[in-house]
Structure 1
Amino acid sequence: MPIVTLTMNPAIDIAAGADHIRPTSKTRCTPPRFDPGGGGINAARTIAALGEPVTAIFPAGGPSGRQLENLVRDAGVPMRSIPISGHTRENLAVTDHGAGDQFRFVFPGPRVTAPELHHCLSEIESAAVGSRYVVASGSLPPGVPDDLYQILADLLRDLGARLILDTSGAALRAVRRGVHLLKPSVRELAELVGHPLPDRKSQLAAARELILAGVSEIVVVSLGAGGALAVTRHEDEWFPSLEVTVRSGIGAGDAMVGAMTVGLSRGYPLDDAVRLGVAAATAALTTPGTRPGHPARIAELYQQGPETRPSCFLPADSGSPETPVPLRRT
């Protein structure tokens, strides 16, 4: 059964480089790279790279929307595109090769009307029938209510599908219940709980607060160079980052979400699913633009460490996955 991803605010991600970036001066860039973007689409590309069936659902409009559809198709990801009257947004990232800094310019996206939103939800409802996992990732465009992901969580509960959610801001604050796995960054988690989270103890407490409130069964906090922290109601485990030379940080968190969903869909214990996510995120850091990591590189990074882990190229038995709880008990 395919994994389904939803990207309500997709984009064409344009990436280029320049020798130097200075204010007011013309910046001569390298030839641009064009990638299909938006959280759910990026996650779907990693899911497909790891060999799992996936369907990406997203609204698209205008000439840029048609280009986005072509880019998703070229990436080998099956899709359901919902036509909208607005034009799909384009985002820009330029890397200063001299300083090593990356400058990212992100636009708000087109307004989505109520009928267009209803069409999106109808496509999700249709695609999610029989699916174990639905990944919803990214920001919400203008016109979409802040509580869309709560509406989605309630819809998927009735369908028997599990929601993997990665969002921020008002869309995250509006979620009250029904998420299976929530993946905030530590900054997003701090904004949600309303105070800084300077250490592991405060991060763990904030994540467990969401779990005890019924927002999510599992919270995986991405800590950037600090790794990741996975938390359930009674257990937690910290996963260190893996050292690589970073080429582009765009889409690494989405790759993590996609790979964790692959692991869970194959019945991996939660700790192995998170390790697969960390490996995919790390591999994505070494690729240009938002290209997912190569499967062989993901496998190599995943197998680092003393434990024997299931191969990330061998799908688990098609039966119901086990409850993912083998973490360190607190």
Structure 2
Amino acid sequence: MAKKILVLGGAHVDRRGRIFGETAPGASNPGAWFEEPGGGGFNAARNLARLGFDVRMISPRGGDPAGEMVAEAASHAGVDDTPFVFLDRKTPSYTAILERDGNLVIALADMELYQLFSPRRLAIRAVRDAFEAADLVLCDANLPVETLAAIAIKAATGGKPVAAIAISPAKVMRLKPCLAGIDHLFLNEAEAAALTGHRPEDPREWVSGLRALGLRNGVITRGKRELIAFSRDTIVSLQPPIVDNVADVTGAGDSLASGVLAALLAGHDLAEAVRHGTAAAAITVQSPFATAENLSPELLNSMLALVPKAEILS
């Protein structure tokens, strides 16, 4: 029987506009518009469902076409989607304008609806039942700080491991008060710098800083450079493979988290789990979407052949 994963976090619409030529500030720029469902939690939920897990997603949503788009994407990926629907509200959205080379010009995050996911909603019978049935709880930092703390406490009370996705340098600070209650945190180097308050020359120094904050296990991604992962007594590094046909890096971190968690739930150690996560990320960046529709256990296993062994640093 497939293991059950409960995901609590962002499920919204990502809109990206790319400028065709040189960016002209304060003027109309020819370009193209693209939108798709996104959100750290939702991206991870779809990846995990495609990797064979029984995934339930709980997230606030508006009663609008954007909410319907998210629901359709969940159904397509095989996610059990059970949102809190606010019929008179808009589904959250993230709107970005990108330069021709993909660099961000400006973005607007309309995420106020997530503030309505208050701790008291965790007491709803359906949510309590979902916690009880889960083998793993995954949340993201789109949720309010007090809700994230309540999720960590509820998971610990029920003996459930809880993982978290950092989302951004600003939002990861919402996780800081409850880091001791998080079993696995997935973050990039900007988010690690925000949490620890420094950006060291040697990325291994982030590990001691995060451990001092109470975090037991974490994975710090660094783009094309080697990632750093740690548990209570181990630090490993892994150089991601070069991917020639990169289509879009959106969602790569979420897919890496999915691959790592899938491997850990299958009984692999940290060094092997980060290989699975890196393979999942490599598959995703070859897709124009935030999640790769062709992701499967078989494809991930074939991609593993391109991923080197992790180096044990301590």
| Category of TM-score, reference length = shorter chain | 0.7 to 0.9
Q: Which residue of 2 aligns with 1:321?
A: none
- Runs of 4+ in structure 1 deviating by more than 4 angstroms, as ranges, are 112-117
Q: Which residue of 2 aligns with 1:75?
A: 77
So what's the TM-score if we normalise by structure 1? 0.81
Q: Which residue of 2 aligns with 1:232?
A: 231
Partner AA of 1:270 in structure 2: L
Q: Which residue of 1 aligns with 2:192?
A: 189
Q: Which residue of 2 aligns with 1:154?
A: 153
Contact 2:135 2:161 in 1 (8 A): yes
CA distance in 2 between counterparts of 1:74 and 1:166 reads: 23
| Residues 233 and 117 (structure 1), Cα distance of their counterparts in 2 relative to 1, 3 Å cut | closer
Contact 1:5 1:134 in 2 (8 A): yes
**Over residues 39-66 of structure 1, what are the superposed CA-to-partner deviations in whole Å (9 max), with x where a residue is unaligned?**
1100011112222221111110131323
Q: Which residue of 2 aligns with 1:130?
A: 133
Any gaps of 5 or more consecutive residues in structure 1?
308-325
For the aligned residue pairs, the C-alpha RMSD in angstroms reads 2.6
**Over residues 137-193 of structure 1, what are the superposed CA-to-partner deviations in whole Å (9 max), with x where a residue is unaligned?**
2323xxx3x232121111011112110112244312222422111122222122112
Contact 2:7 2:56 in 1 (8 A): yes
CA distance in 2 between counterparts of 1:38 and 1:265 reads: 23
CA distance in 2 between counterparts of 1:33 and 1:159 reads: 41
SS in 2 for 1:184: strand
| Residues 76 and 196 (structure 1), Cα distance of their counterparts in 2 relative to 1, 3 Å cut | same
Q: Which residue of 2 aligns with 1:313?
A: none
What's the % identity of the aligned pairs?
A: 22
Q: Which residue of 2 aligns with 1:266?
A: 266
| Residues 250 and 196 (structure 1), Cα distance of their counterparts in 2 relative to 1, 3 Å cut | same
Contact 1:82 1:120 in 2 (8 A): no
**Over residues 219-239 of structure 1, what are the superposed CA-to-partner deviations in whole Å (9 max), with x where a residue is unaligned?**
211122213111122211101
* Residue 116 (structure 1) shift: 5.9
Partner AA of 2:278 in structure 1: V
Any gaps of 5 or more consecutive residues in structure 2?
none
SS in 1 for 2:212: helix
Contact 1:134 1:161 in 2 (8 A): yes
CA distance in 2 between counterparts of 1:11 and 1:193 reads: 29
| Residues 201 and 259 (structure 1), Cα distance of their counterparts in 2 relative to 1, 3 Å cut | closer
**Over residues 240-286 of structure 1, what are the superposed CA-to-partner deviations in whole Å (9 max), with x where a residue is unaligned?**
12212432222111111111111111112221111111111222222
So what's the TM-score if we normalise by structure 2? 0.85
CA distance in 2 between counterparts of 1:203 and 1:176 reads: 14
CA distance in 2 between counterparts of 1:229 and 1:278 reads: 12
| Residues 121 and 10 (structure 1), Cα distance of their counterparts in 2 relative to 1, 3 Å cut | farther
CA distance in 1 between counterparts of 2:284 and 2:127 reads: 27
Partner AA of 1:62 in structure 2: G
Partner AA of 2:130 in structure 1: A
Q: Given the alignment of the two structures, is residue 243 of structure 1 paired with residue 227 of structure 2, yes or no?
A: no
**Over residues 278-321 of structure 1, what are the superposed CA-to-partner deviations in whole Å (9 max), with x where a residue is unaligned?**
111222222113133633553333222576xxxxxxxxxxxxxx
How many residue pairs were aligned? 301
Contact 2:182 2:215 in 1 (8 A): yes
1:284-299 equivalent positions in 2, closer than 5 A? 284-292=284-292, 294-295=294-295, 297-299=299-301
Contact 1:86 1:112 in 2 (8 A): no
| Residues 306 and 232 (structure 1), Cα distance of their counterparts in 2 relative to 1, 3 Å cut | closer
| Residues 217 and 193 (structure 1), Cα distance of their counterparts in 2 relative to 1, 3 Å cut | same
Contact 1:286 1:293 in 2 (8 A): no
CA distance in 2 between counterparts of 1:147 and 1:117 reads: 7
SS in 1 for 2:27: coil
